[in-house]
Amino acid sequence: MNQFFLQKGESKELEQFAHIIEFGIKKNNSFQFFAVDESINNCLRIYYVLEGKFEWTINDCDYILYPGDLVLIQPGCRFSRQSGVLDIGKLCWIFIELEKAKSPEGMMLGKWTSFPANEILTIGKIFRLCNTPVISRIKEAERILAGIRYELFYQQVGYVTRTNQLIDELLILLARKLTLHNNTHRDFPKSFLNLEQTLRQNLSHQWTVEEMAALVGLGTTTFTEKVKSYSGFTPLNYLITIRISEAIRLLKQNNLSVTDIALDVGFYSSQHFSTTFKKLTGSTPSEFRKKNISNEQD
Amino acid sequence: MNSEKKIFQMSKINYGNKDCVITIELGTNAVRVFAYNLTGNLIGSAKGAYPSFHPQADYSEQDPEQLFITMLYVLKNFLTEKVYAEKYRVVNICFSASMHSLVAIDKNGAPIGNAITWADNRAKQEANELKSNPIGKTIYEATGTPLHPMSPLVKIAWLKNKDKERFKKTYKFLSIKSYIIQQLTGEYVIDYSLASATGLFNIHKLKWDADALAYAGITAAKLPELVSVFHSAGKLRKEYQTSLGLSADTKIITGSSDGCMATLGAGVWGEEKATITIEDSGAMRVVGRKILKDEKQRFFNYVLTEDYYVSGGPTNSGGVIFEWFANQFGDFKYAYDIDNCIEELLNDASKVNAGSDGLLFLPYLLGERAPIWNANARGVYFGLNINHEKKHFVRATIEGILYEMYSIGKMLEERRNIKSLSVNGSLATIPFCSQIIADMFNKPVGISKNTSSVGLGAFLLSATDMGLYKNLDEAAKSVEFAETFKPNTQNHPVYKKHFEIFERLSTKFSEEFEAIANSQNKND
């Protein structure tokens, strides 16, 4: 693909697309990739390597990128080129604006997208939880990017819809590839352990089965079946055992209030926490704490 | 099983036919709950898994609160959905647990950090030091537990040396089972049986061993109270009576270790029987009134009750090795998952002659415990020629795992006259494997009718406590076998011939094993 550069507010090709901040293909020697600009702080930045070799530092990790590799930079991500290294090559990139986050958790897109809200939230979570910003050998992305370029430049009938569809398609592709990273069909116990660790790190989040399944890279039905046969629990019940275990640990430490513990371990209210806790242990969280402190004085 | 009538007449107390016993097995990967009626028939079972965490190489930990909550959750649901739904009344609850776990708790009873499991190898250095120290031999002879990083004795020594703050803050060092029972009843107890796997318990005097305590740098007050496997560990706390729907009369029986329970549940009792368990790892065990002595410290000797010992040898090289093979070389294109893939591989293996046409496999991918006790040992395929195909590798891998078991068996046979075997565990009970075991040992092999030997063992212990059996001998005799594999007289000589080479290979490479292990460790 030839070099080009489109920018919101400057290029008439983007007039119909308030959510595309930048889109271009450039050789690195003709362009400054890391210009600091406040406006890109609320963007998904996607870079795709077409030629050559790039050495970048993303969230303090060093990556070497080759053609076919894609980098996904999310808001808040620290990102720079490695000092003293001369990158030589050609890149394609697109910056997509996110709606100002409605909840601290969720990624939201504008009205242009055809995703229903729950799907985009799930995709956002997968992006947020994936432990690598780099997806290797993702040739399909090149086809989609070329498609977006074609639509923008030739503006045939339906091009607005088609362009937005292609962006949706790109996001789906990325989310699927990222979950595939985690998906080792051969070794479910290992995937399960990874899932457990992710859940524990984000215990206050209101997990849905869809999100958990996506993290393991399985459909919801297969995921639920596998979790059931492996662990004996449904995914949500398994999650409750982790929440209560963590709550017990915190209750024994006696430096957080019961309400704080409830929220920390992912119950939406202290009432809900109390009921679930009592059903299982026979005492309310406060009673439980009292018993464990009175032991101390024995 | 004896007839129902006979059973009820034997006990002094009147039990009804809606009375049942619950057994709880705190295993390595999951808690398993079983309910048996008083004739020993399984009413139902449930399980809940929990993970092991590996924050560093050699570390293997579990969250004690997660174990407790998982146990509680599974038990509560199982009682409601199965036991109470079918109008059963719970007479007692009997525990078993995997051996060698260690939980440090503070003076409030709260765990300090995670539980350290049997699979944790962080205390390698402490184990080696103790082995080369003359006190090591004295401690092994007194405690019956091999000096190995798995042993809680060595783990406590590690905490003393490497995690001083935790060591200092620790009010008591418990096993996972002791922790769970304490949560339920408030009592700090450990049974002789599980205690005898801690490396701290004198199996001759049935009390904590002074030398071991001194070496660990603790006093007996830092350990739970020693009790018999039949001990009733106090009353269930009120709140758990409420949440579980159990009465204050429900007896909580301390129980034993999973290894000892599996042995009892496999009907192995008396000098002429042995049991082979192969799950991820494996062990071969015998029961007797005397311990097995060994100059080279290769056996474990665990106390089951005051007058019986369970002795034998453990191996690292069990199902985990075959699973590794399946993951690397299985065909996942068509297989739905690992189990399906293993099935296909077994199918391939069955097309190869016994002895894999001269291909041998040393299964030491994880180092090895019994019989060679060499953590540096590594895997070897030996005897490869141009005619060998993939299917030969499959069969050789399985045979290698079973030769390893046979080499433990040969050691035991030097001391016991074993006439028959029973097998349990997911790998050993695959008919293809059971038959090879029968052929190698040239002895009949029985598979218990019951899905879980550990669960049944715990039931037999409870039932004996209730007076349904006179003693454990009689309880063990009630175990019935579903299937018996007879040795194939043509295959036995083939295995015998190959095993001689296997045995020589297994000890031949100790220098090379050390060199390659060192070089691998440097690359970590």
What's the pLDDT tens digit per position in A122-142?
A: 888 888 777 678 888 888 999
Query: Same structural domain for residues B50 and B88?
Result: yes
Find the residue in B nearest to A193 (Cα): B51
Lookup result for tokens 């970590």: B524
User: What does each C-alpha distance from A169 to A8, A141, A160, A212 come to in angstroms?
Assistant: 21, 9, 14, 21
Given this model, what pLDDT does residue A126 score? 82
pLDDT at A31: 59
Q: Do B80 and B164 fall into the same domain? A: yes
- Shared domain for B330 and B439, answered yes or no, is no
**CATH code of domain A4-182:** 2.60.120.280
**What are the phi and psi torsion angles at A63 (to 5°)?**
-130, 140
A234/B contact by beta carbon, under 8 A: no
> CB-based contact (8 Å) between A190 and chain B?
no
* Chain B residues with CB-CB distance to A296 below 8 A: 107-108
**B105 contacts A281 by C-beta, under 8 angstroms:** no
Tell me: pLDDT of A267 over 50.
yes
The count of domains in chain B is 3
**Are residues B412 and B391 located together in one domain of the fold?**
no
Structure tokens at A256: 């957080």
* CATH number for the domain harbouring residue B339: 3.30.420.40
pLDDT at B25 over 60: yes
Q: Which residue has the tokens 């040393």?
A: B362
Residue pair B365/B349 in contact by the 8 Å Cβ criterion = no
What is the arithmetic mean of pLDDT over B217-233? 96
Measured between CB atoms, does B112 come within 8 Å of chain A?
no
Q: Is the pLDDT of residue B268 over 60?
A: yes
A59 touches chain B (CB under 8 A): no
Q: What is the pLDDT of residues B74-97, one digit of tens each?
A: 999 999 999 999 999 999 999 999
Q: What are the backbone angles phi and psi of residue B31, rounded to the nearest 5°?
A: -100, 135
Which chain B residues are Cβ-neighbours of A185 within 8 angstroms? Answer: 332, 337
**Is a pLDDT exceeding 50 seen at residue A36?**
no
**Domain shared by B194 and B335, yes or no:** no
Q: How confident is the model at residue B3 (pLDDT cuts 50, 70, 90)?
A: very low
Does residue B108 belong to the interface with chain A, where contact is any CB pair within 8 Å?
yes
Residues of chain A contacting residue B319, judged by C-beta atoms under 8 Å apart: none
Q: Do B374 and B283 fall into the same domain?
A: no
Q: What is the rounded distance in angstroms from the CA atom of residue B476 to the CA atom of residue B464?
A: 10
Select from B259, B294, B329 the last residue of a domain: B259
- Which of helix, strand or coil describes residue B329? helix
Average of pLDDT values for B142-167? 96
Least confident piece of the model among A111-120, A156-165, B153-162: A111-120
Evaluate if residue A104 carries a pLDDT over 60. Answer: no
Do B413 and B399 share a structural domain?
no
Higher-pLDDT residue of B354, A30 = B354
Supply the mean pLDDT for chain B. Answer: 92
pLDDT at A296 over 60: no
Candidate from B240, B330, B341 with C-beta closest to A282 = B240
Q: Which band of pLDDT confidence, cut at 50, 70 and 90, is reported for residue B482? A: confident
**How high is the pLDDT of residue A298?**
41
Nearest to B26 by CA among B83, B114, B106, B100: B100
The yes-or-no verdict on residue A177 having pLDDT over 90 is no
Distance, in angstroms, between A246 CA and closest chain B CA? Answer: 7
Amino acid at B257: S
- Asked if A296 and B107 come within 8 Å (Cβ–Cβ), the reply is yes
> B229 with B310, same domain?
no
pLDDT for A56-65, tens place per residue?
A: 888 888 888 8
**A295 in contact with B at a CB cutoff of 8 Å?**
yes
Mapped onto helix, strand or coil, the DSSP state of residue B337 is coil
Give the residue on B whose Cα is nearest the Cα of A226. B337
Specify the pairing of strand B273-278 against strand B251-257.
unpaired
Q: How confident is the model at residue A185 (pLDDT cuts 50, 70, 90)?
A: low
Nearest to B463 by CA among B245, B230, B244: B230
pLDDT of residue B244: 96
Residue A166 · residue A147 · CB < 8 Å: yes
Q: Taking 70 as the threshold, does the pLDDT of residue A103 lie above it?
A: no
Please tell me chain B's helix, strand, coil percentages from 3-state DSSP, rounded to the nearest 5.
40, 20, 35
B451 and A CB contact within 8 Å: no
Say which range, A154-163, A289-298, B439-448, has the weakest mean pLDDT: A289-298
Q: What is the pTM of this model?
A: 0.80
Sign of torsion over alpha carbons A261, A266, A271, A274: negative
In B, which residues are within 8 Å of A280 by CB distance? 69, 72-73, 76, 243
Are residues A281 and B243, on separate chains, in Cβ contact within 8 Å? yes
Give the containing element (helix H, strand E) for B125. Answer: helix B124-132
User: Of the spans B251-260, B267-276, B510-519, which averages the highest pLDDT?
Assistant: B251-260
Structure tokens at B60: 């293997």
Chains A, B: CB contacts within 8 A come to 91
Identify whether the C-beta of residue B115 lies closer than 8 Å to the C-beta of residue B45.
no
A246 interfaces chain B, CB cutoff of 8 Å:
yes
User: Is the torsion defined by CA of A236, A238, A241, A245 positive or negative?
Assistant: negative
CATH of domain A184-298: 1.10.10.60
| Beta strand ranges found along B271-408 (DSSP E) | 273-278, 282-288, 300-305, 308-315, 360-362, 380-382
Residues of chain A in contact with residue B327, where contact means CB-CB under 8 angstroms, are 186-187
**CA-nearest residue of chain B to A291?**
B108
Element holding B327 (H helix, E strand): helix B319-329
Whether residue B1 is predicted with pLDDT greater than 50 in this model: the reply is no
- Whether residue B51 and residue A193 make contact (CB cut-off 8 A), yes or no, is yes
Spell out the SS3 assignment of B419-449.
CEEEEECCCCCCHHHHHHHHHHHCCCEEEEC
Residues 51-70 of B with CB under 8 A from A: 51, 53, 63, 65-66, 68-70
The secondary structure element, H or E, covering residue B344 is helix B338-349
Three-class DSSP labels, chain A: CCCEEEECCCCHHHCCCCCEEEEEEEEHHHCCCCCCCHHHHHEEEEEEEEEEEEEEEECCEEEEECCCCEEEECCCCCEEECCCCCCEEEEEEEEEECCCCCCCCCCCCCCCCCCCHHHHHHHHHHHHHCCCCEECCCHHHHHHHHHHHHHHHHCCCCHHHHHHHHHHHHHHHHHHHHHHHHCCCCCHHHHHHHHHHHHHHCCCCCCCHHHHHHHHCCCHHHHHHHHHHHHCCCHHHHHHHHHHHHHHHHHHHCCCCHHHHHHHCCCCCHHHHHHHHHHHHCCCHHHHHHHHHHHHHC
pLDDT at B336 over 80: no
Residues B357 and B460 in one domain: no
Q: Is A27 part of the contact surface with chain B (CB cutoff 8 Å)?
A: no
Residue among B34, B212, B58 at smallest CA distance from B137? B212
Number of H helices, E strands in chain B: 19, 22
Which pLDDT value is given to residue A181? 59
CB contact under 8 A, B65 and A281: no
Whether the pLDDT of residue A292 is over 90: the answer is no
Burial code of B348-382, b = ≥16 C-beta within 10 A, e = fewer? bbeebebbbebbbbbbbebbbbbbbbbbbbbbbbe
Kindly report, as residue ranges, where domains of CATH 1.10.10.60 are found in chain A: 184-298
- Residues B101-146 pLDDT 10s: 999 999 989 999 999 999 898 998 999 999 999 999 999 999 999 9
In chain A, CATH 2.60.120.280 sits at 4-182
| % of residues, chain B, pLDDT over 70 | 96
Domain shared by B464 and B480, yes or no: yes
Nearest by Cα to B11 from B91, B96, B95? B91
Q: Does A194 touch chain B (CB under 8 A)?
A: no
Task: Tell if the CB–CB gap between B73 and A241 is shorter than 8 Å.
Answer: yes
Quote the pLDDT of residue B378: 94
**Residues B216 and B338 placed together within one structural domain of the fold:** no
pLDDT value at position B333?
Answer: 62
Encode pLDDT of A74-87 as tens digits.
Answer: 887 887 777 666 67
Can you tell me the ipTM of this complex?
A: 0.81
User: What range does the domain containing B303 cover?
Assistant: 267-315+408-485
For residue B55, is the peptide bond before it cis, meaning its omega torsion is within 30 degrees of 0?
A: no
Provide the 3-class DSSP secondary structure of residue B115.
Answer: strand
